[in-house]
A and B are shown apart, each in its own frame.
Chain A
Amino acid sequence: MNKSPLSLALLALLLGACASERVVLLPAADGSTGAVVVRDQQGELRLDQPYAALKRSLAANRPYQSSPAEVTERFAQALAAQPPRPSAYVLYFEAGGNVLTQESQAALASIRKEIAERPASEVMVIGHTDRVGNAELNDSLSLTRAEGIRDLLIESGVAVDKLEAVGRGERDPLVPTADDVDEPKNRRVEINVR
Chain B
Amino acid sequence: MIKAHCMVAGLLATSILGFPAQAAEQAGMIKVSKGAVSIEREGQRMAAGVGTPVMVADRLRTGADGSVGLTLRDNTLLSAGPNSLLVVDKFAYDNATQDGRMAVGIRKGTLSVASGKIAKRTPESVDFHTPTSILGVRGTEFVIEVEGDGDE
Contacts and interface: CB of A to CB of B under 8 A. Distances in A.
Interface stretch (A116-124, A129-137, A179-187): A116-124
Interface residues of A, number: 63
A122 B111 CA distance: 23
Given A40-B132, A77-B110, A83-B77, A14 B12 contact: yes
Interface in B27-57: 29-32, 34, 50-51
A126 to B, nearest CB: 7
Considering residues A24, A26, A81, which has the most beta carbons from chain B within 10 angstroms of its beta carbon?
A81
Contacts of B80: 78, 81
B50 A120 contact: yes
Interface string B1-20: 01001101100110011010
A113 B65 CA distance: 32
Interface in A110-162: 118-120, 122, 124, 126
A39 B16 CA distance: 18
Contact of A56 (B5, B8, B75, B133): B133
A86 B75 contact: yes
A19 B132 CA distance: 8
Interface in B126-144: 130-144
A120 to B, nearest CB: 4
Contacts of B132: 12, 15-16, 19, 21, 40, 56, 59
A21 B144 contact: yes
A28 interface: yes
Contacts of A14: 5-6, 8-9, 12
A22 B144 contact: yes
B138 A34 contact: yes
Interface stretch (A89-97, A100-108, A163-171): A163-171
Chain A contact residues: over half helix, strand or loop, or mixed?
A: mixed
A23 interface: yes
A124 B110 CA distance: 29
Contacts of A11: 9, 12-13, 16
A130 to B, nearest CB: 18
B81 A78 contact: yes
Considering residues B70, B111, B114, B150, which has the most beta carbons from chain A within 10 angstroms of its beta carbon?
B114
Contact of A15 (B67, B137, B150): B150
Nearest to A142: B96
Interface of B: 2, 5-6, 8-9, 12-13, 16-17, 19, 29-32, 34, 50-51, 67-71, 75, 77, 79-82, 84, 95-96, 98, 108-112, 114-115, 130-150
Q: What are the 7 tightest A-B residue pairs by CB atom distance, in nearest-first order?
A: A34-B140, A19-B148, A83-B31, A14-B9, A78-B81, A77-B81, A81-B67
Given A17-B6, A119-B32, 17 more contacts: A7-B12, A7-B16, A10-B12, A18-B149, A19-B131, A20-B146, A21-B133, A23-B135, A26-B141, A32-B139, A36-B137, A36-B138, A39-B136, A56-B133, A74-B143, A80-B67, A85-B114
